[in-house]
Structure 1
Amino acid sequence: MKKTTAIFALFLAAFTWGSAFCVLKDTLENVSPIWLLAFRFLLAGIIMTLVCIPRMKKMSIRTLKRGIIMGIVLYFEFLFFTVGLQYTTSSKSSFIIGSYVAILPLIYWVIRGKKPQRADILAALVCIVGLGFILLGSFDGVNKGDLISLLSAVCYAIHIVVTGIFAREEDGFLLNMLQIGTGGILGLVAAMILEPHPAAMSGMNIGSIAYLAVFCTVVPYLLSVFGQKYVKTSTSGVILSFESVFGCILSILILGECPGVRFVIGAMLMMCSFLIVEKISLPLPKRVAVKAEK
């Protein structure tokens, strides 16, 4: 039952992250990306701190260190994404960052010292092909932005692995507060150094930042930390990659964009990758296992 709830939580996290694409599209026209990150994470960090006041007495030095590590990785994931997006197209950036699914088994092997199962590798490859169908059109070569976006994908994979490790041993609310708060502090420092102070924002911009802070940061990261406590890392990676699918679906429903055949094929392949990682990697029933040994 817990695993089913955890899988649902991860899909819901991917959905809320996917909704950010529709909000970001308008907000970035008036607020610079680095300041937007700072506002988003600072507001989310304040909210999480208020929520976690009753839990503060459970805070340990180990929890503090782990939350800060997660926050540093998380911020650089977003920073590389933001910088890379300035030099490449949004579709290529989304695809390259989504390739963390293919990198994830290797990162898991390096950090955990455990060789990934064949089903995990197969699912990652099928998932990346599905993402390619959804996001890529004509290929116009590799540029600086693509390489920077690849660094974001590596950080994304590292973040999923360390979250999967720490979530099983720590309070998820405290971890979330620490990682988001760390991201907010780093974001504010980076914005003050790299960007001029933002001009006056409209009520719509403030509302968008509030939505991003609550529904695209606090809520999904809580869901993600909870989900990864009960779901293995490879499955979590595949589920969270559905962020791109949900982003496309919401763009169709809200922005009126028309889906193509490639989107349908890509979404089906990504669903297949989830089924592969969930079904093939399950242990064989005893009778089947006995026959296989013979």
Structure 2
Amino acid sequence: MNREKIQAFLALFTATFFWASAYIFVKQLLEDVSPYMILSLRFSFAAIILVFIYNKKLLKINFEILKAGIIMGIFLFGEFFTFTVGLQYTTTSRSSLLIASYIILLPPAYLVIMRKRPSLSDIIVSVICMIGVSFILGNNLGSFHIGDIYCILCAVDYALYIVISSKYSKLYDSGILNVLQVSTTAVLSILSLVLIGNNRFSLSPADSFQLIYLTIFCTTLPFFLILYGMKHVSATTSGVLLSLESVMAAFMGIILLHESFTPNLIIGGAIVIFSFILSEVLPKIIRN
């Protein structure tokens, strides 16, 4: 494995950790702030930071990259809207594990968007990863409720976003794409706030820290890392590595929010990690 690929893996893993920690911070913020206000503040501040960082590169924007960034932003908004709103109605571990089902949606998403049939190794890895997620869920699903519906919709959006991002990140500058997708999400978040009208907002010092953390470490930085990583690894490998977010978030929920712990979590987490390793090894075995 070359140095560039190792750096891509590290970038994706770091982004995964920060996104996993977002479950904890968003869940706590929802006690004092509406989900629509969280989305608006989080992505508006992130967009301002990114515009400041990449202001010189923005002069290179043309119609094609503008279209790509807006498309990515639409799917990104759908993902984070369903995630943030859905987290009001369920636990962090349940939410993260339901959203992790996106991994099984990657092959069909790849087929629809890339117009290319996923390889046998892609399908096998996705199925194994989903088996791991099923172990993690165990008998904890119970009856579906509105929070679960939001989480499943988030999983669909997540799968589509990963494939679309993988496609465009290889064609255009990641910095410009980052500005465009986050700015699009910010605009759509503000529109949702205005249209829905739920602007509940009461920030304590702890809430302010959580919002700053979400803006910098769970929004601005991860998208840069993800777009960099996706330049050098496949969409399926990216998706499997990012699926570790569910395992990390579940453990964080157990440790920090005292949510229930089951042996299935250990078994399922091990299977998810194994599927990531397999995503790199299996294609070479099949080719040989």
Establish whether TM, by shorter chain, passes 0.5. Answer: yes
Partner-residue secondary structure (3-state), 2:55: helix
Corresponding residue number in structure 2 for 1:245: 247
Cα pair 2:95 2:148 within 8 Å, conserved: yes
Distance 2:51 2:215 in 1: 13
In our comparison, the structure showing a higher alpha carbon Rg is 1
* Corresponding residue number in structure 1 for 2:173: 171
**Map of 1:210-289 to 2, 5 A cutoff?**
210-255=212-257, 259-282=261-284, 289=288
- Aligned partner of 2:35: which letter? P
CA–CA separation in structure 2 for the residues paired with 1:30 and 1:239: 32
TM-score, normalised with respect to structure 1: 0.90
1:281 and 1:266 map into 2 onto residues whose CA distance is 23
1:80-99 pair list within 5 angstroms? 80-86=82-88, 90-99=92-101
Moved more, 24-33 or 137-146: 137-146
Alignment of 1:46-65 (within 5 A): 46-65=48-67
Give 1:256 shift. Answer: 5.6
Q: Is the 8 A contact 1:91 1:136 kept in 2?
A: no
Shift of 1:93: 3.3
Q: CA RMSD in A?
A: 2.0
The residue that corresponds to 1:186 in the other structure is 188
Partner of 1:9: 11
- Cα offset, 1:252, TM superposition: 4.6
What residue number does 1:73 align with? 75
Are the equivalent residues in 1 in contact too, given 2:111–2:118 (CA < 8 A)?
Answer: yes
Task: Look up the match of 2:151.
Answer: 149
Q: Aligned to 1:282, what secondary structure does the other structure show?
A: helix
Pairs aligned (count): 286
Unaligned runs of at least 5 residues, structure 2: none
Q: Structure 1 162/154 Cα, relative in aligned 2: closer, same or farther at 3 Å? A: same
Change in 2 beyond 3 A, CA 1:200/1:253: closer
Q: State the match for 2:198 in structure 1.
A: 196
- Asked if the contact 1:84/1:144 (under 8 Å) is kept, the reply is yes
Q: Per the alignment, do residues 101 and 278 of structure 1 end up closer, same or farther by CA in structure 2, a change over 3 Å counting?
A: same
- Report how far residue 248 of structure 1 moved: 2.7
The DSSP-based 3-state class of the residue aligned with 2:231 is: helix
Change (3 A) 1:180 1:8: same
Amino acid at match of 1:130: G
3-state SS of paired residue (1:131): helix
Distance 1:201 1:144, change over 3 A: closer
Amino acid at match of 2:281: K
- Structure-to-structure mapping, 1:107-146, within 5 angstroms: 107-146=109-148
TM normalised by structure 2 equals 0.92
Aligned equivalents of 1:199 and 1:13: distance in 2?
28
